Amino acid sequence: MFIYKVGVVGAGAMGAQIAQVVTFAGLPVVLTDVSDAVARRGVETVRAIYQGRVDRGKMTAEQREEKMLLVTAAGSLAALRDVDLVIEAAPEDLKLKQDVFRALDGVCSPGAILASNTSALSISALGVATKRPGKVLGLHFFNPAYAMPLVEVIPGLATEQQTVDDAVGFAESLRKAPIVVKECAGFLVNRLLMPYLNEAVLCLQEGASSLKAIDQDMVAFGMPMGPFTLLDTIGNDISLEVARILHRSYGPRMAPAALLEAMVKAGRLGVKSGRGFYEYGGAKDQELEGLIQKAGQAAGPRGTRWAPSRLLMAMMNEGVLALQEGVASARDIDLAMVAGTGFPSDKEGPLHYADRIGIDHVLQELEESARSLGMRFWPAPMLRRMVDAGFTGRSAGRGFFTY
- Given 140, 247, 352, 361, which residue is catalytic? 140
Cα distances (Å, whole numbers) of residue 250 to 122, 218, 280, 319:
14, 26, 34, 14
DSSP code at position 344? -
| 76 Cβ contact list (under 8 Å, min separation 6) | 32
Strand partners, 139: 153
Whether 247 is catalytic is no
| 62 Cβ contact list (under 8 Å, min separation 6) | none
Question: Phi first, then psi: what are they for 137, rounded to 5°?
Answer: -160, 175
What is the Cα–Cα distance from 374 to 115, expressed in whole angstroms?
38
- For Cα atoms 130, 134, 138, give the angle at the middle one, nearest 5 degrees: 85
What is the Cα–Cα distance from 353 to 95, expressed in whole angstroms?
39
DSSP code at position 374? -
H or E segment to which residue 243 belongs: helix 236-250
Question: Phi first, then psi: what are they for 388, rounded to 5°?
Answer: -60, -30
What is the Cα–Cα distance from 159 to 320, expressed in whole angstroms?
26
Establish whether the linkage from the previous residue to 195 is cis, with ω within 30° of 0: no
Chain-centre distance for alpha carbon 141: 8
Tally of CA atoms within 13 A in the half-sphere of 13 that contains its CB: 8
Q: Which of 329, 324, 325, 378 is nearest to 349 (CA)?
A: 329
* Torsion, Cα of 329, 174, 41, 5 (10° steps): -110
Q: Count how many residues are written for the chain.
A: 403
Q: Give per-residue burial for 237-272: e unless 16+ CB within 10 Å, then b.
A: bbbbbbbbbbbeebeebbbbbbbbbbbbebebbbeb
Q: How far apart are the first and last CA of the chain?
A: 40
Catalytic residue ranges: 140
